[in-house]
């Protein structure tokens, strides 16, 4: 009788592959809220990119205070203005998630906040791609997307924390004595949003650094 053997190395590779797959799905199941908000964000990016075909630069200028989308001004503005505009843009969305978390109805509005942020990113990126072809692609990859990535992560975290606290507020009448949220929970909520703001501050620093180094190399 012939016996087909399997080498130990092959067994280890197979076991390692299975373990990574199980770890991936376990991570997804443990972070379902983040995955759901990421879907809303990507949906917003897709809608913004589709609408970008009909967009005009004046749209981006008017929405700059929300999305920091006026890419033409980056090279001409003082660096402090670039930083402030980038941080203020993410701060508005994080603040809205924070305020929604303080309401039992806020959890229903937070997904729209995430979608709207994705819409702004998709609109800006799509317009640059459509108007400036490969140069726009390069500008987006080098100048805009690195900072936007950390900004979006901060907003996703804010959405998750806001939704969690909103659910606690909704259950407050039955789970908390006298229907009042405990001070420790509120303190933890504030600390987590402080960390999220620190991440958005870091994203603004990346925007500042990349704009200072590379924005002047492009002419639009």
Residue 24 lies in a domain: no
Query: Which two structure tokens, joined as six digits, stand for 134?
Result: 């490969």
Residue 40 lies in a domain: yes
Residue 151 lies in a domain: yes
The predicted-structure confidence for 163-215, as pLDDT tens digits, reads as follows 999 998 888 755 555 555 678 889 999 999 999 999 999 999 999 999 888 88
Residue 127 lies in a domain: yes
- Residue 166: CB partners within 8 Å, gap ≥ 6? 100, 101, 102, 103, 104, 105, 106, 107, 110
| Residues 93, 19 contacting (CB under 8 angstroms) | no
Return the minimum-mean-pLDDT range out of 21-25, 118-122, 205-209: 21-25
Residue 16 lies in a domain: no
Banded model confidence at residue 1, pLDDT cuts 50, 70, 90: very low
Residue 108 lies in a domain: yes
- 60-83 burial, b at 16+ Cβ within 10 Å, e below that, comes to beebbeebbbbbebbbebeeeebb
Residue 203 lies in a domain: yes
Domain extent for 210: 32-67+75-217
Residue 21 lies in a domain: no
DSSP 26: H
Count: domains in the chain = 1
């Amino acid at each position: 009788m012939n016996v087909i053997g399997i080498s130990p190395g092959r067994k280890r590779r197979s076991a390692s592959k299975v373990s990574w797959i199980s770890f991936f799905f376990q991570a997804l199941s443990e972070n379902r809220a983040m995955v759901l908000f990421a879907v809303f964000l990507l949906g917003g990016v897709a809608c913004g990119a589709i609408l970008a075909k009909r967009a005009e630069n004046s749209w981006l200028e008017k929405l700059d205070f929300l999305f920091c989308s006026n890419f033409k001004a980056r090279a001409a503005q003082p660096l402090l203005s670039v930083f402030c505009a980038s941080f203020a843009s993410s701060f508005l969305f994080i603040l809205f998630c924070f305020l929604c978390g303080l309401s039992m109805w806020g959890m229903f509005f937070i997904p729209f906040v995430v979608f709207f942020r994705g819409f702004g990113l998709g609109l800006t990126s799509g317009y640059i791609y459509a108007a400036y072809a490969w140069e726009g692609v390069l500008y987006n990859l080098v100048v805009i997307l690195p900072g936007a990535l950390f900004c979006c992560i901060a907003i996703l975290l804010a959405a998750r924390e806001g939704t969690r606290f909103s659910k606690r507020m909704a259950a407050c009448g039955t789970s908390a004595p006298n229907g009042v949220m405990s001070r420790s929970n509120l303190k933890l909520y504030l600390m987590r949003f402080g960390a999220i703001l620190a991440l958005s501050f870091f994203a603004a620093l990346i925007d500042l650094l990349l704009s200072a180094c590379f924005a002047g190399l492009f002419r639009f």
